[in-house]
Structure formats: C-alpha cells, structure tokens
Amino acid sequence: MPIFTYKGLDSTGKTVSGELDTAERRIAVQKLTAMGIKPIAITSRDAAIAPTGATIRGSSITSEDIQGEDFFKQKGGKSGGFSFIPRRKASGKSTALALQKQILMLLSAGFPLGDALRLLSVRLTDPTLKLLCTNFWKKLSEGSTLSAAFATAPELFDASTIHLIEAGEASGNLIPILERNVAFLEENIENRRRILSGLAYPVFVCFIALGVILAFGVFFLPIIQKMLKSLGGEPSLLVTVVVNSLRAFVYASPFLLVGGIVLTVGLVSYRKTTAGRALTDYWTLRLPALGRITLFSNIFQTSSLMSTLMASGVNTTETLRLVERTIGNVHLKAKFAAARKQIQEGVSMATAISRVKYMPDLAMDILTVGENTGSIVNSLREINKIYRAELTKTINFMTNTITFVALGSAFGFVALIAYIIVTSIFDVSKALQH
C-alpha cells in the first residue's frame, strides 16, 4: 500500500508533518481532516513521471491524473473555471500576479498546495510560469514553505508579498490571504494602467506641440527675420526673445538629456542605500498627490490584512508583527512599529495608532468605535472600503490635473506661436508698404 508523507497545520496553527499508509491521496486527505489537520502538501514516496520524462519524487499526481478535463471533475473543480494557458507572456509584477491567481484557483477548487504546484508545472504552457512552478514544487517537496519558495525569486515577489504568504501559512488561511493579495496587486496594476492611459494623450499632444514650436522657431522664424531685415524692417521684441530662447533650448537639449539620465541613475542608486531610502520615502509622503496615494495605499493594504488575520483567529500581537513586515515605506513602517510596541504594553489599538498618526482622523474614529463595540474586524473592513475609494478618487484627480496642465500648456504654446505668426505677417506687410 502506498505511503504518503504530509505537511499541514493543526488546530492551534502549528506546522506538523508525518506519514500515512493509505491506498489513495483522497483517503489521506480525509484522514488528516478527521485528525483536525489542514493539509498544506501531501506527497507520495513513489516516483512520478515528469512532463519531460525525468523522474521526480514526491508527486501524488500521475500522468493519468492530468489527462483531459475529467481531471477537474474527479478533483472537485470546474473544467471551465480554470485556464492553464495564460493569455500572454508576462514579466515582473504581472508574472507574480498570474502565478498567484493560478495557485489560488486550484487551492479554491480543493487541491493541496503541493499538488497544485505540481499540476501547474505540468500543464502551464508559458515557459516562465512553468519553470517557476517546477522549482517551487521541488522546494515544497523538500519541506519548504510557499513563502520561502517565493523568496527564492525576489525579482518577481517583493518582501510584502512574501510576508503576506508567510502570514497566510502561519495562520492556516492561505486562500483568503492570496485572495486579498491578488485583489491588491490587481488594483495596483489597474491604477497604474489608469495613470498611464490618462497621461498618454496629453503627453502625445505636448510632444506634437513641442515639435511644431521647435520647427517653427528654429526654421521659419529666422526666415521671417531675414525677410524683415532685407526689407528694412525690424522684428518685434517677442519674436526675438522666442527665437533666441528656442535656439538656446536646442543647443542645450543634449546636455539636458544627459543630465536627466545621470540624475535618474543617481537617484535610483541613492534610493538603494538606507539613508537614501529613508529620505526619498519621507519626501514621497509630502508630495501633494503622490503622498496621498502612498498613504491611502498603505492604509488599504494594512487594514485589509489586519482584518483578514484577526478574522481568522490570529492574535493581535502576531497580526501586528506580520502586518508591519509588509509595509514598504520606511517612515510609515516606523510609525506602525511604534504603535505596535505601545499596543503590546497595554495601550488600545485606536489610541496607539492615533498617537503615531499612522491613519487619518476619519479612520481613527471608525477604529475607536469598532474597539468600543467589540467589532474591530468590521471597522477595519470599513476603513479598507473607504480608503480604497479615496485611493481611486486621488488617482483620478491626479491624472485629470496633469492632463489639464499638459493640454493647457500645449495649447498655450501653440497660441503663442500663432500670435507670433500673425504679428510677423503684419511686420512684413508694414515693411513692404515702406
């Protein structure tokens, strides 16, 4: 009879492991559930055939298991509810998001984590995602956790995501944590898309306007000046100033371009240092629109994670410790850490967070009411809902403002050029009359 090794969480949230002598993996899952253990990974000692023909130990899914859509019906999933083929080849954050969505879909369908990764490593067609799943499955079969496996790919999974997954594994609530993180990442990508799409048109218009202005100032205005001089006339002061300014800009543009590149590279390098990260994070919070976006994004993320962990039965101390590790801005992280220490000393959560001014007054009022009524989880969810809407509103305001300023500037320059053209024509006409 096959022997299955398992890794799971007991009723206290402690990680346990062992072996079961059963006929099928399904029976092993039933036995573990009866024992009060939530399985994370169940693997067979018998070898399974990998998709490339190599032999890999630790899989409980055979080549027959993964043939056709009957596989999903046998496992309790929906054949039409999951796609093994990504729509496009992704990279960076979109790759991390795509992988987490694939894992979440299988976990929600009832698959243990190890089986989900093993299946994805077989069925995915995207080479990047396929390789990631294969490597992560091997890590899990060696006894590693999913968060530790994600940590081996820091170029894809940032510290915030890794700590979130760690919190989900520690509390035995990986699925709701993944759902929250996927929703957060999707919203970030959507916000970035809205900002870029909102800025695309005004930037395009500004480039066209700048090209017209440069072409007119560098080529056509000098011709008008020469005509006026040959006819005995003098160009107006405005024409002279515009022509000289545009010439100076053209001559200085290579130096401005090189200076911009050097400044950008230097700023990125400086931000990688401890002092640079602290300084740039400090000034980011003080920029009018970007500071509000950073603050609301952090409140949205921390309130979401806190409500999820506390609703899952994780104690307040552990919740705060895990949430603190997910905060990216060092100044906000320091404030949250100061509040956490006060809470550990017996200060109420609302009072401690209010003292360090981590959240705005509205959020603190909601949190205070929740703490007084014993429904702090509901209060955190309400805060999450409010500042999600505030984040969307702020992003829309920023993109609309930039669009208005950019288009206004472009039309202003075009109007200036049109005025110069008209006055130059009048100057030429006067010169011809004399």
Q: What CA–CA distance (Å, rounded) separates 269 from 275?
A: 11
pLDDT in tens, 13-51: 677 788 877 766 667 776 777 777 776 667 766 533 333
Type of residue numbered 188? N
- Region 112-134: mean pLDDT is 86
Residue 369, both tokens: 């009411």
Tokens standing for 304?
A: 């979401």
pLDDT in tens, 150-165: 888 888 887 767 877 8
State phi, psi for 40 to the nearest 5 degrees.
Answer: -100, -45
b/e burial code for range 314-349 (CB count within 10 A of at least 16 → b): beeeebbbbbbbbbebebbbbbbbebbebbeeeeeb
**Can you give the pLDDT at residue 93?**
73
Kindly state the percentage of the chain with pLDDT values over 70: 79
Residue 60 has pLDDT above 50, yes or no: no
- From CA 81, how far away is CA 39, in angstroms rounded? 23
- DSSP codes, 306-341: HHHHHHTT--HHHHHHHHHTT--SHHHHHHHHHHHH
**Any idea what the Cα angle at residue 216 is, between residues 211 and 219, rounded to 5°?**
110
How far apart CA 102 and CA 126 sit, in angstroms, is 12
Q: pLDDT category, 234, cuts 50, 70, 90?
A: low
User: Which three-class secondary structure state does DSSP give residue 200?
Assistant: helix
Predicted TM-score (pTM) of this structure: 0.60
Average pLDDT over the chain, rounded to whole?
76
| Sign of the torsion angle spanned by Cα atoms 224, 229, 233, 238 | positive
